[in-house]
Amino acid sequence: MARIGILGGSFNPAHGGHRAISLFAQDALGLDEVWWLVSPGNPLKPAQDMAPLPARLASARRQARRAPIRATAIEAQLGTRYTVDTLRALVRRYPKHDFVWLMGGDNLRQFGAWRDWRGIARIMTIAVIARPGYAMRANGSLAMAWLRRFVRPACQSRHWTDWRPPALVLLRFRPDPRSATLLRQADPLWHREFTTLRVRDPLTRALII
Ligand SMILES: Nc1ncnc2c1ncn2[C@@H]1O[C@H](COP(=O)(O)OP(=O)(O)OP(=O)(O)O)[C@@H](O)[C@H]1O
Ligand SMILES: O=C(O)c1ccc[n+]([C@@H]2O[C@H](COP(=O)([O-])O)[C@@H](O)[C@H]2O)c1
């Protein structure tokens, strides 16, 4: 079974922080690959600041170069927007893969607002990577109040395929302050270099328009 970590995100744009946490997770969890799911549109984020999907996917492809990372916009083909639907579809589509959901500590804080977040935790193990400014045990977070009982020790993280979800592992990583927000502030028109209107999806080979 291939061991795959999934990092969902807006990638508006992709940056070195995504790459660094993916390589760290690859090592900590013993992954064969990390798949970056470039979202057609985060259901909780306003669409107006969002660069077109082909530009975000192209920026992710560039950041993923020469690393065991595949950028994909597979949610555009699956027709899913909510993570719970995406993960169900992926597990069905790739029965020979073991999947773990990766996210930064900032996403753990708002996880309780995601559609059927308990359902997500029941589908696959979740690995949270520390992010500067976000306490991982997020006291007062609705999701953490429920997830706390499923936390596994980080020293066992390579054995995640033996865990029966819900299972949550909190991974400490050297704080990486990079963010897409900072990059957009520095250059709101970052996507002008990705003028291409169509990009080949590296995972599915479909044309993303
Ligand atoms: N520097 C980082 N450290 C830890 N996790 C990160 C970091 N950058 C991104 N992530 C995680 O990667 C995933 C995708 O992030 P996203 O594409 O939204 O980038 P972002 O930098 O958080 O963007 P924005 O600043 O626009 O919110 C999320 O789970 C996020 O928590
Ligand atoms: O399913 C949901 O309700 C949901 C709500 C907010 C965010 N998400 C997912 O969380 C991932 C991170 O999103 P972002 O925009 O913070 O990079 C991305 O895969 C989104 O589709 C999912």
- Reported as a single tens digit per residue, the pLDDT across 77-104 is 999 999 999 999 999 999 999 999 999 9
199 pLDDT tier (thresholds 50, 70, 90): confident
pLDDT value of residue 139: 56
Ligand 2 center to 83 CA (angstroms): 7
pLDDT digits (tens, 9 = 90+) for 129-184: 999 888 776 556 889 999 999 999 999 999 999 999 999 999 998 899 999 999 99
CA dihedral sign of residues 75, 80, 82, 84: negative
207 belongs to a structural domain: no
Question: Which single residue is written with the structure tokens 């999947």?
Answer: 99
- Cα of 107 from ligand 2 centre, angstroms: 8
What does the alpha-carbon distance between residue 203 and residue 185 come to, in Å, rounded to a whole number? Answer: 31
Q: What pLDDT is recorded for position 13?
A: 98
pLDDT band at 207 (very low <50, low <70, confident <90, very high): confident
- In tens, the pLDDT along 4-56 reads 999 999 999 999 999 999 999 999 999 999 999 999 998 888 888 899 999 99
The verdict on residue 208 lying in a domain is no
Residue 18 CA, ligand 1 centroid: distance in Å: 7
Q: Is 80 in the pocket of ligand 2 (CB under 6 A)?
A: no
27 vs 33: CA distance, rounded Å: 10
Whether residue 206 lies inside any domain: the answer is no
Residue 7 lies in a domain: yes
Res 141: pLDDT: 80
Whole-model pTM? 0.96
10 lines ligand 2 (CB under 6 A): yes
What is the token pair recorded at 47? 């669409």
Could you read off the pLDDT of 122-143 as tens digits, one per residue?
A: 999 999 999 988 877 655 688 9
Number of structural domains found in the chain: 1
* pLDDT for the residue 146: 95
- Asked whether 181 lines ligand 2 (CB < 6 A), one says no
Taking the CA of residue 120 as reference, the ligand 2 atom at the shortest distance is 1
Of the candidates 56, 55, 51, the one whose C-alpha atom is nearest the C-alpha of residue 36 is: 56
> Bridge-partner residues for 152, per DSSP?
169
What CATH number did the domain enclosing 32 receive?
Answer: 3.40.50.620
Under 8 Å between Cβ of 94 and 117: no
Q: Residue 30: which region, alpha, beta or left (left: phi > 0; alpha: psi -120 to 50)?
A: left
Domain interval for residue 107: 2-199
| Residue 137: per-residue pLDDT | 65
